[in-house]
Structure 1
Amino acid sequence: MMTGKLIDRPIAVTMTIIAVIVLGMVAIGLLPVSLMPEVDIPQITVQVNAPGYSAREVERSLSGLRGQLRQISHLKELRSEANNGSGSIFMEFEHGTDVKFIFIEVNEKIDKAVASLPRELERPKVVKASATDIPAFFINMTIADEGGHRFLQLSRFAADVISKRVEQIPEVALVDISGLSLPEILVTPNEHKLKALGITEDKLEAAINENNRSLGDISIKDGHYRWNIRFISEIKTKEDIEEINLNIDGRVFKFKELATVTEQPARHKGIVKSDGKRAVALAVVKQSDAKMSDLKSSLESVMEQFNKEYPDVEFLITRDQTRLLDYSITNLRNNILLGALLACLVIFLFLQDFRSPFLVTITIPLSLIVSLLFFFLAGISINIISLSGLILGIGMMVDNSIIVIDNITQLFERGKSLRESVIKGVAEVFTPMLSSVLTTCSVFLPLVFLSGIAGALFYDQAMAVTIGLFSSLIVAVIVIPVYYYMFYKRTDGPVKNRFISGISLFDYHAAYERGLKWVFRHQRLVWAMFILVLPLTFMLYKVIDKSKLPPVTHDDIIMLIDWNLQLDIDESDRRIQELTSTGEEFISHKTTFAGSQQFMLSHTPDLTQTEVMVYLKATGPETLEDLENRLSEEIKARYPEATFRFTPSDNIFNMIFSDKEYNLTAKLLSKDNTPPNPDKLNILLEKIHTQMPKFYIEPVRWQEVIMLTTKPEMMSLYKAEQQNIHNIISNAARERRLFSINHGNYSVPIIVGDENDYIEDVLALKARNADGIEIPLSELVAETRVRDFKSVTSGLEGSYYPLNLSVNDKSVPEVMKSIERIVKEDGSFDVIFSGSYFSNRTLIKELVIILTVALLLLFFILAAQFESLIQPFIILSEVVVDIFGAMLVLWMFGSGLNLMSMIGIVVMSGIIINDSILKVDTINRLRKEGYSLIRAIMTGGMRRLKPIIMTSLTTILAIAPFLFRGDMGSDLQYPLSLALIGGMVVGTIVSIFFIPVFYYNIYKRREK
C-alpha cells in the first residue's frame, strides 16, 4: 500500500533523498578519522624506581606489591620484572573493566603496601595504558659537525627552542626528548696543594656548600612599614666557584688555586644516533582529541620554517603514525570504489539494459551516504574496521535492489501492468529480504561477545554491516520502486541493449536446467559427497595453521639487543653501528638508542647500559624479512652471548592487539619457590640444548658485578672509616654530586672527583685515617666478582625463568613432552607452559562456539519466517559444505585459521543462505499457487537463478580488492575475504543444485 502512494509522488521522494544526501555530506565532514576504533586498553603498569638495588633486592620489594595487587578484581594477568635499580609490574584486566576505577583501586593497594617497602624508595608510579602513549612522530635533529661543544649547543637549542615551538602547536600535548648532551661542572682537587696545606677534599666541599645558601624571608619593621629582607648567596656558574675565598690558617686562597673547575659535557649514559650521526630525538605526543591530519599539516608547516631558519641543523621526521593511517584509509576507499565498479559491471552484463542497472548502481552511493549519516548518529569513527565493514556490505547493498528490480521485471514481462508489477513485486520479496537482512545481521551479534578487545573492535564492523544493509533495504523498497515506475511508465518494459546482449557468451539458464536434471538423476552420489564433506572438514580443521591474527604488511621494525656483557656505552654504540652496516642494502633509515634514555613517558622501553634498541625502516616490505634474517645471523655469529628479538614498530594496532608472547614459553620454577639458582639453571638449559639442538635457546641474561668488601680486621688496625672509603670511591667514579644548578629545562650538577678508567686505579688510591696516615685502598677492601641474573621475572605462580621458544604449532606437543621429561630428570625445577599456542587455540574454540550460536540464531529466525521447523534445516544444511569450501580455500592459499578468517566464516554463514531463503520462499509460493512439487522446484530455481548468481558475484567482486594486499586494512581483511569467497563460490553451487534435491526429498512423500 505504501509503495502505491510513493510511486505517485516522485518529487517528494526526490526532495527527501536530496535532504538526506545534504545531511549525510555534512556528517561525513564531521566524522572523526582514526586508524582503529577508540577503545579502552585494560592494562596498567606499576613502576618502581630503586637506585642502587640489585635485581634480587628489587624482586623482594615487588613481591609485597604483587601480594596486594593480585587481590584486584577482574585481573587477567599479572607479571613483574625486576632489574638493577628498577622494577615494573604489568597487569592486564578483563575487557569491559572500567579502567578508571581499577586505576584508583591499584593506587589504594599501593598505598597499603608502601609501608612494607624500604624507606628510601619513592612511592611506585602507576601508569595507565592509552592510545595517546604512542608518539605521532619522532623528530631526529643532527648537525654535520659534532666536535667540541657543538653537540652540547645543539642539545640546549633542542631543549630550549625547538621543543617549545613544537609544543605551541595546538594539536601537540607534549614533546618528550632523549639524546641530550648535558653539561656538568667538575671540581678536581689539587692533591699536592691540599696535602701541603694539611686539608682534605671535605674542606673544599664545605666551602662550595657554604657559598650556595638561600635563606628564607626575614621580616623587619621600619616605622610604619614592614620590609621582607631576603638573603641570597647562590652559585650560578663555574666562575662563581672559582672565586670562592677560603681562609686556611690565616691565609686567603681563591678556590681556583686549590682545584681545577671545568664545565664540560657530562658522561653520557645513553646515546641516540640517526643514520650513524649523533642525534637528539624528540617524540611528539598528540592531544587526545586532536585529528592526526591536522597535526601532520601543522607540523609540516613548522618543519618548513625550521629548515629555512636553521640551515645548519637537519630535521628528520620518522615513525610517522599518520602515514600508516593515510595509506590504510586511502587504500580502503579505493577498494570501495573498485568493488562498486566491479559490482556495477556484473549488473550491466546480466540485466543487459541501461535503465535498470542505473537504478541499482545509484543505490551504492546513496546507501553509503545514509550509512555514514548513521555512523555520525551512532558515534562511530571512520577507521580500518568500520570501513572494512562497509566494503563487506557493498556487495550486499546492491543485492536487495537487484532482487526488487528482477522481481518487478519478471512480473511485468508476464503481462501484468507496470503499476501492479511494481506494487506486487516489492510486496512479494519484502519479507524474504527482511529475513535475509536479519539473518546476515544476526551472525554479527555473537561476534560482539568475543572476549577481550577484539569483541569491542568488531562492534564497529558489525554496526557498519548492519547499518549498510538496513540502509540498502530502505533504498530498495522506497527509492527503487519510485524511479522504476518513473523510468518505464512511458515504455512497454525493459528493452535489452543489443551491444550488451551480444557480449553474453554463456547460456546459464540452459546449463542450469541440464545440471539440475543430472543432480536429480544422481541423487545418491550427491548425498555421498555431502556426507563425505563432514569428516573432510574435521581433517582440515586439524591440519590447518591457527593463529590470533593474520600477518600484517609493514616496512619497519624494532630490534632489541642485550649484549650480556658489562660494556661501556661507547663500545655498545660501536657494536650496533658495525652490526647494522651489514644490512645496509636493506635499510633506508635507522635510529639507534643505546643505553638508558632520557624520555619521561613509557613509549620507549627502559634500557640499561648494555641494551640497545634500533628502529629500522627497510627499503620495502619485501626486504624486511631479508633484513631480519641477515641481522639475526650476524648477531649469532659475532656475539653468541647476546640476546635479541624483533618486535613490530609501535602503532595503535600493535598496542591494542599486542601479541608479544612467544609461541611457547616454558616457565621454570624452583622447587622452593625462590628465584631460580643461576648455576642449577645453567645446567638444566645445557641439557635442554643438548637434547633439542634444532631449537634456538637464547642465552641467559647475566650480569657480572664487582663486589668491594671492607676487611674488618684491617679497618680496625688502621683506624679507617667506612664513610671515608665510600667518598674516595665515589670521587674516583665521578659519582659524588654536591648539588645542581637549575637552568629551566635541565640542571647542571656540581661534581667532585676525578675519573679513573680501571678498577686497579681505584684500588691504588689512598685513604687517610684519623691519625692522618694514608693507607692504600687495596689493604682495606677485598675485590670479588659475582654473576647473577640481570632481571628476575615473576607472576601469579611466583618467580620463574622464562624459556622462550619459537616453535611451529605441529612441534609444540612434542617439545613440551621433551622439556617435561628433562625437567623431571633434573629434579630441581618445575615447569609450566604458556604462550600464543594456547591463547590462539582458546580464541579459535571461542569462535567455533560463536559460529554455533550464530547458526542457532539463524535457525530461530528462519523458523519464525517459514512457520516450519523442517525448512530451516533445508536452508542451513548448505552451511556445512560452505564451511568446508571456505577452509579449503584458506588452506590452499596458506592463510590458516585466525580471528579474521573465522569472522569471515561466521559472516559467510549468514550471507550465503540468503539465496536459499529466496529460492525456498519462491518454491513455497508457487506450490500455494497450484504448481506440482517438481514443477515448483524447476520454475522457482529458474526464476531465482539470475538474482542468485548476480548477488553472489556482486558480493564476491566487492571484496575481491582485498586480495591485493599491501596495507594494514587489506592485510587484516585478506583471510576474511578468502573465507567469504571460498564459501560463496561453493555456497552458490550448493544453493542452485543441492537445496532443490534436499527440498524434494523432504516433501515428495507429502506430495504423494
Structure 2
Amino acid sequence: MVEFLIKRPIAVTMSLIAVLVLGILAANFLPVSLMPEVKIPQVTVQVTAENLSARELDATVVKPLRNQLTQLNHLKNIRTETRDGSSTIFMEFEHGSDIDFIFIEVNEKIDRTTLPKDIERPRTLKANATDIPAFYLNLTLKENIPQQTADIQKFIELSKFGLSVISKRIEQIPEVAMVDISGQILSEISIIPNLPKLQALHIEVADLEKAILGNNINLGNLTIRDGEYQYNIRFSSTLTQKEDIENVYCKINGRLYQIKDLAQVKEVPQGQIGFVKSDGKSALTLAIVKQADARMSDLKKEIHQLTETFRKDYPHIDFTITRDQTALLDYSIDNLTQNLLVGILLACLVIFFFMQDFRSPLLITLTIPISLIITLLCMFVTRISLNVISLSGIVLGVGMMVDNSIIVIDNITQKWDKGEKLKTAVIKGTNEVFTPMLSSVLTTCSVFIPLIFMSGISGALFYDQAMAVTIGLFSSLAVSLIVIPVYYYRFYKKQEKRSRNRFLSRFHLMDYEKIYENGLKWIFRHQVLTWGILIGMIAGSCGIYLVIEKRKFPPITQNDLLLNIEWNKRINAVENERRTSRLTDHLKPLLSQYTVMAGSQKFLLSHTKENSVSEAIVYLKTVHPDSIPVLKEKIRSYLENNYPEALYSTESSGNIFDMIFAEKEPTLVARIRSINGKSPEPDLLNQLLRSIRDKLPSIHIEPVAWQEVVQLLTQPDLMTLYGIDYNRLFYKLKSAFNENRIFYMNEGEYSIPVLLGEEEKTLQHILRTTTVKNDAGIDIPLSLLLRENRINDLKNIISGAEGEYYPLQLEVKEKNIPDITQQITAVVAADRNFEVSFSGSYYSNREMIKELSAILVVSLLLLYFILAAQFESLIQPLIILSEIGIDLFGALFLLWICGSSINIMSMIGIIVMCGIVINDSILKVDTINRLRKEGKGLLKAILMAGNKRLKPIIMTSLTTILAILPFLFTGNLGADLQFPLSLAIIGGMTVGTIVSVYFIPLGYYYIYKIRQS
C-alpha cells in the first residue's frame, strides 16, 4: 500500500485537504459543554403540607410513600428528609437503568399510595445535568429598601416587574428553558373585622365571609338565539381589587351594610418566610436554566446582550450576574486549550533537538494538527461534545499522537542511513514497524475499554475520554502510515543522503548513546544488586499504597462556596435575615460578591436546597482561591463565638461536576436507630451522644437539632358541655392566626390572596382573650377548650429503607475509622436502647478503589492477550508486562511526594500508564526478535536493538510526558481533575522509560539464556 501511495502524492494531498475541510467545519458545529451529557440516575419526590408538623407529615404521608417506593426495581438507595410543612424523598438507582421508565414507575407508586385528602399531589423530579442554572441574575433597586419599612411597596413593584416583564423577556431567548424565581414579595388583601362593632350588632365574622364570597361568583356563559343571530351572554360578578371588597353590600338582621363599615380592608405585604439579599441589598433572584441541547456560548452572548439592554432601559435597577457556569466553562476550556498548545510546543522542541533536522521534525509536528482535526471530525460524527473530559483525553493523546510518526520517520531514516535507496527505505521502514505500532495503539486503547464498564455514572462519563484518546491514536496511526511516508519521500526525493542541520547540531546537550551503553554494562555487571533494587521498588509500591491518602475525587480549586446555616432556634425569617446579614458584614473584607438566601425560598426546581424558616444559604465569592481557607476560619470563629448552638457546613457552589461527583456524605456516618423501631426519645438520644462524646473526646460531635413543638390539645368533655364543635373551633383559630384565606384575586401573572382575620397577636394573648360562640350564642373563652403542651422533637426526621435513624456525621481521618467504629459500636451496645450501622465516603471510596483495582487486572489481561497474539509467544508478553509492577512505584511515589491521593483520576492515570508505558518495550522486544531471526546472537541482538530503538524510546517518552506537564502548573477544573492523572502517568513513564531501556533487556536475556541452557 505504501508503494502505491508514494506514487500518488496529489491524490493523497487532495484527500487530506477534503478531510481537513470537513474537520474544520465539524469543529464549528461541535457542541461545547462543561461536562458530558450523562443521565443521572436520581429521582426526587417533593411533598408539601403547610399545616402538618414534621412528625405528622412523616407518619401520615412520607412513611406510606416510602413503603411503596422501596419496591421499585434497580433502587440503590432511598433517603427521606422531613421537616415542618415539607418533605423530600431522594432515590438513587443503579447506573444504566432506564430513568425515563423509572420516572413513570415512581408516579404510579405515588398514585397507588393512600394519602390524606387535603394534601396536594407530591411532585416528582428527575435529576438532569441541565437542572443547575447557567446563571443567577439578581435584581436590586439602586436605593436599598429594608424589608421592614413602609417603602416595601417599591420592592413589591420590583417583584411584580421581575415576574411579569424581566423573566418573560429572558424566557424568549431560544437557549433558555425556564426562569426560576425566588425572593419576590407580593401583596395580599387583609380584612380585619371591627370586633367590638360586630359584637354590638350581633354579627358573626362568618357572615362577612359569606357576603364576600356571595359577591365573587362567575356563572359562565349563556347562548341566546335571536332569529338568525346567536349571542353569548356572560354573567360575572368577580372581585378584582381592594375597592371592590370594600363596597360589597351585605344584609344582616334586616339592615344593609358595606364591608368597609364593618371591617378594615387593606393591601399589605404577604407574610414572608424567606428573603434574598445581593451584596447587602434586598434582591429578586432569577435562576436561568439552559435548554439541554443549547450551546453555552450562545446562551452567554444572548444573556449579556439582554442584560445590557435592561441596564439602559431600567436605570433605577441593578442587574448582577452571579454563579456564572459559563465562566467556569470558558476558564476550563481556555486553560485546557492553552495546556494543549504548550504541550505541542514542548513536544516539537524535543523532536527538533533529537532529530537535528528541520524537515523530518516538521513532518512529525504536522501530525498533531492533522490528527486533531480528524479527531474533532470523528467526535462530531459520534456525537461527543467538546468538554473538560473529552478535551483532557485529547491532551492526553497529543503526546502519543506524535509517537507513531517518530517511530516511522526514525525507522525510515535508519534504513536510508544504511545505504538503501530512499524509496526502498520508505516502503520497508514503514511496513516494518506497522505491526508493533498497531499493537501499541491497541494496547493503549485496550486499557480504556474496562473503564467504560465502571459502575455508576463515572464509567459513562469517562467514555468521552476513552473515545477521544482512541480516535486520536487511530487518527495519528492513519496519518503516520498514509501521509508521513508520502511527504517524507517528496521532501527528500532530490537529496541523495540525509545530512544533519549544522545549527541544530550545536544543541547536542549530551551523548545519551554513551550514557546508555555505560548504564547497560553496569546493569549486566551488577545483576544481583539490580534485581534487589527492582524488588525493593515493588515492595515500596506496596508500602506507599498503605500510607497514601485515599479519596473518591481530587480537590478542585475554587474561589467561591456555599455556606449552609441552621440557627437551631425557632426564629422567624426576619431574625434569620438579620443574623445572616451581620455575618456577611463581618466577612465582607474578603468577599467580591455574596448572595444571602435566608429562610424558605420559592424556587420550583430542586437546584437549591429546600430550607426551613430558620435556615440560610449564603453564596460567598472571593477574589482569589487562596482566600477560601481564611474565609472558612472566619466563619467558624464568628459562629462559634456568637451563635454556639448554630449548625453550619460549607460546600462547593454548585456546578455540573459537583452534581455528578460531589461527596454527598461525610467521611463517616453512624446511623443510630431505636431498637423498637420508633422515633428516638430526646433524653435517651442525648444521653447516648454524651456517652459517645466522653468516649471520643477529640472528635467534634455536633448537637442534635431539636425543636420545641407547641401542641394545642382540645378538651372533648368541655367542648361537649359548652356545645362547641370542632369545625367552629378550627375556623376561629384560623381567623385568630390570620390563616383564613377565603379566595384569591387574579392580577395578571399572579394571584393575590384575600385573608379574613385579626390583628397579629401572640399565642398567649389569643388563648387568653379570644372567644368562640356556641349554639346558644354564648362566648366561650378558648382557654377553657384548649390545653397547651410543649414537647421536643427532631427538627429534621431522616429515614432510609430500614426506617427512621439519626445520622451522626463525623469528619475524621481515615486511618482512625476502624477504631472509631469499634468504640461507637461498643457504646451503643452498652446503652441497649439503640443499634447502629455505618456508611459514608470512607466505604464508597474503598469500593471504588476495589473496582478500579479489578479493572486494572482486566486491563493487564487484555494487554497480555494482545501481546501474546502479536508475538505468538506466551513468555514474551510476561517480560513486557513484568515492568508494570516496577512502574507502579514511580506513579505512587510521585503522587505521595506531591501530596496527592489515590482517587478515581489517579487510578485512571495508573491504568492508562500501564497501556502507554509498555509501548517502548513492545518496540524493543520486536526489534530483538527481528535481529535474532536475521541470525544475530542473543546478547548482540539485545545490544543492537537497544542502540537502534534508544532515540525513538526517549523521544516518545519525552513527548508524552511534556504534553501533559502543563497540567501540573495551572489551577482550574480541567487541570485539577487531570493533576493526579498526570502525576501518575509522568511518574510511571519516567520509571518505565528507564525500565524499558535497561530492565527489559536484562529480563529478556535471563529467560532466553535459561531456555538455551
TM-score tier after normalising by the smaller chain length:
over 0.9
- How far 1:803 moved relative to its partner? 0.6
Q: 2:912 maps to what in 1?
A: 907
Q: 2:477 aligns with which of 469, 473, 491?
A: 473
Query: Aligned pair 1:40/2:39, yes or no?
Result: yes
Aligned ranges 1:508-527 → 2 under 5 Å = 508-527=512-531
Q: 1:14 maps to what in 2?
A: 13
1:212 is matched by which residue type in structure 2?
N
Query: Aligned pair 1:271/2:270, yes or no?
Result: no
Q: 1:234 aligns with which of 231, 234, 238?
A: 238
Q: 2:798 maps to what in 1?
A: 793
Q: 2:948 aligns with which of 943, 967, 989?
A: 943
- Within 2, Cα distance between the matches of 1:874 and 1:145? 75
Distance 1:590 1:545, change over 3 A: same
Q: Do 1:933 and 1:1007's aligned partners in 2 also have CA atoms closer than 8 Å?
A: no
- Within 2, Cα distance between the matches of 1:327 and 1:52? 47
Q: Do 2:771 and 2:780's aligned partners in 1 also have CA atoms closer than 8 Å?
A: yes
Query: Aligned pair 1:30/2:19, yes or no?
Result: no
Q: Secondary structure at the match of 1:416?
A: coil
- How far 1:74 moved relative to its partner? 1.3
- Within 1, Cα distance between the matches of 2:600 and 2:229? 55
Q: Do 1:595 and 1:612's aligned partners in 2 also have CA atoms closer than 8 Å?
A: yes
Q: Could you give the per-residue CA deviations for residues 68-113 of structure 1, whole angstroms, max 9, x where no partner exists?
A: 2222221111111222222222111111111111112222222222
Q: 2:148 maps to what in 1?
A: none
- How far 1:67 moved relative to its partner? 2.1
Q: 1:668 aligns with which of 667, 672, 678?
A: 672
Q: Do 1:689 and 1:695's aligned partners in 2 also have CA atoms closer than 8 Å?
A: yes
Query: Aligned pair 1:996/2:996, yes or no?
Result: no
- Within 1, Cα distance between the matches of 2:930 and 2:669? 60
- Within 1, Cα distance between the matches of 2:233 and 2:391? 68
- Within 1, Cα distance between the matches of 2:705 and 2:969? 43
Q: Secondary structure at the match of 1:358?
A: helix
- Within 1, Cα distance between the matches of 2:248 and 2:913? 84
- Within 1, Cα distance between the matches of 2:781 and 2:685? 39
Q: Do 2:144 and 2:282's aligned partners in 1 also have CA atoms closer than 8 Å?
A: no
- How far 1:158 moved relative to its partner? 0.7
Q: 1:125 maps to what in 2?
A: 123
- How far 1:120 moved relative to its partner? 2.3
Query: Aligned pair 1:138/2:143, yes or no?
Result: no
Q: 1:919 aligns with which of 924, 929, 934?
A: 924
- How far 1:221 moved relative to its partner? 5.2
Q: 1:183 maps to what in 2?
A: 187
- Within 2, Cα distance between the matches of 1:58 and 1:769? 32
Distance 1:245 1:519, change over 3 A: same
Bigger CA drift: 67-76 or 932-941? 67-76
Distance 1:1006 1:207, change over 3 A: closer
Q: 2:101 maps to what in 1?
A: 101
Aligned ranges 1:486-497 → 2 under 5 Å = 486-497=490-501
- How far 1:716 moved relative to its partner? 4.3
Q: Could you give the per-residue CA deviations for residues 589-632 of structure 1, whole angstroms, max 9, x where no partner exists?
A: 11111111111111112211111111111222111122122212
Q: 2:889 aligns with which of 872, 876, 884?
A: 884
Q: Do 2:350 and 2:959's aligned partners in 1 also have CA atoms closer than 8 Å?
A: yes
Q: Could you give the per-residue CA deviations for residues 367-392 of structure 1, whole angstroms, max 9, x where no partner exists?
A: 10111111111111111111111111
- How far 1:222 moved relative to its partner? 4.6
Q: 2:50 maps to what in 1?
A: 51
Q: 2:555 aligns with which of 551, 558, 565?
A: 551
Q: Secondary structure at the match of 2:137?
A: strand
Gaps of 5+ in 2: 146-150
Q: Do 1:766 and 1:774's aligned partners in 2 also have CA atoms closer than 8 Å?
A: no
Q: Do 2:144 and 2:281's aligned partners in 1 also have CA atoms closer than 8 Å?
A: no
- Within 1, Cα distance between the matches of 2:741 and 2:331? 51
Q: Do 1:725 and 1:767's aligned partners in 2 also have CA atoms closer than 8 Å?
A: no
Q: 2:172 maps to what in 1?
A: 168
Q: Secondary structure at the match of 1:591?
A: strand
- How far 1:643 moved relative to its partner? 1.6
- Within 2, Cα distance between the matches of 1:223 and 1:346? 98
Q: 1:813 maps to what in 2?
A: 818
Q: Secondary structure at the match of 2:220?
A: coil
Query: Aligned pair 1:697/2:696, yes or no?
Result: no
Q: Could you give the per-residue CA deviations for residues 405-452 of structure 1, whole angstroms, max 9, x where no partner exists?
A: 111111111111111111111111111111111111111111111111
Flag as ranges the 4+ runs of structure 1 deviating above 6 A: none
Distance 1:19 1:660, change over 3 A: same
- Within 2, Cα distance between the matches of 1:755 and 1:516? 95
- How far 1:708 moved relative to its partner? 1.8
Q: Secondary structure at the match of 1:347?
A: helix
- How far 1:244 moved relative to its partner? 1.7
- Within 2, Cα distance between the matches of 1:485 and 1:348? 19
Q: Do 1:719 and 1:769's aligned partners in 2 also have CA atoms closer than 8 Å?
A: no
Q: Secondary structure at the match of 1:607?
A: coil
- Within 1, Cα distance between the matches of 2:144 and 2:424? 86
- Within 1, Cα distance between the matches of 2:98 and 2:833? 42
| TM-score with structure 2 setting the length | 0.97
1:974 is matched by which residue type in structure 2?
F
Query: Aligned pair 1:434/2:438, yes or no?
Result: yes
Q: 1:973 maps to what in 2?
A: 978
- Within 1, Cα distance between the matches of 2:227 and 2:425? 108
Q: Do 2:552 and 2:903's aligned partners in 1 also have CA atoms closer than 8 Å?
A: yes
- How far 1:225 moved relative to its partner? 5.3
Query: Aligned pair 1:244/2:242, yes or no?
Result: no
Query: Aligned pair 1:624/2:622, yes or no?
Result: no
- Within 2, Cα distance between the matches of 1:291 and 1:24? 19
Q: Do 2:732 and 2:772's aligned partners in 1 also have CA atoms closer than 8 Å?
A: no
- Within 2, Cα distance between the matches of 1:207 and 1:446? 74
Aligned ranges 1:401-412 → 2 under 5 Å = 401-412=405-416
Q: Do 1:580 and 1:631's aligned partners in 2 also have CA atoms closer than 8 Å?
A: no
- Within 1, Cα distance between the matches of 2:269 and 2:464? 53
Q: 2:852 aligns with which of 828, 832, 847?
A: 847
Q: Secondary structure at the match of 1:740?
A: strand
Aligned ranges 1:550-569 → 2 under 5 Å = 550-569=554-573
Aligned ranges 1:320-469 → 2 under 5 Å = 320-469=324-473
Q: 2:585 maps to what in 1?
A: 581
1:124 is matched by which residue type in structure 2?
P
Q: Do 1:724 and 1:767's aligned partners in 2 also have CA atoms closer than 8 Å?
A: no
- Within 2, Cα distance between the matches of 1:225 and 1:478? 83
Distance 1:720 1:70, change over 3 A: closer
Distance 1:519 1:737, change over 3 A: same
How many pairs are equivalent? 1005
Gaps of 5+ in 1: none
Q: 1:750 maps to what in 2?
A: 754
Q: Do 1:552 and 1:971's aligned partners in 2 also have CA atoms closer than 8 Å?
A: yes
- Within 2, Cα distance between the matches of 1:1005 and 1:692? 60
Q: Do 1:766 and 1:777's aligned partners in 2 also have CA atoms closer than 8 Å?
A: yes
- Within 2, Cα distance between the matches of 1:440 and 1:58? 56
Q: 1:194 maps to what in 2?
A: 198
Q: Could you give the per-residue CA deviations for residues 529-585 of structure 1, whole angstroms, max 9, x where no partner exists?
A: 222233322221111111111011111111111111110111010001111222222
- Within 2, Cα distance between the matches of 1:295 and 1:752? 46
Q: Do 1:182 and 1:746's aligned partners in 2 also have CA atoms closer than 8 Å?
A: no
Q: Secondary structure at the match of 1:682?
A: helix
Q: Do 1:40 and 1:130's aligned partners in 2 also have CA atoms closer than 8 Å?
A: yes
Q: Do 2:192 and 2:759's aligned partners in 1 also have CA atoms closer than 8 Å?
A: no
Q: Do 1:566 and 1:610's aligned partners in 2 also have CA atoms closer than 8 Å?
A: yes
Q: 1:65 maps to what in 2?
A: 65
Q: 2:958 maps to what in 1?
A: 953
Q: 2:808 maps to what in 1?
A: 803
- Within 2, Cα distance between the matches of 1:223 and 1:878? 101
Q: 2:654 aligns with which of 646, 650, 653?
A: 650
Q: 1:501 aligns with which of 502, 505, 523?
A: 505
Q: Secondary structure at the match of 1:231?
A: strand
Query: Aligned pair 1:3/2:2, yes or no?
Result: yes
Q: 1:213 maps to what in 2?
A: 217
Q: Could you give the per-residue CA deviations for residues 177-212 of structure 1, whole angstroms, max 9, x where no partner exists?
A: 111111111111112221221212122112111111
Q: 1:87 maps to what in 2?
A: 87
- Within 1, Cα distance between the matches of 2:331 and 2:903? 24
- How far 1:713 moved relative to its partner? 4.4
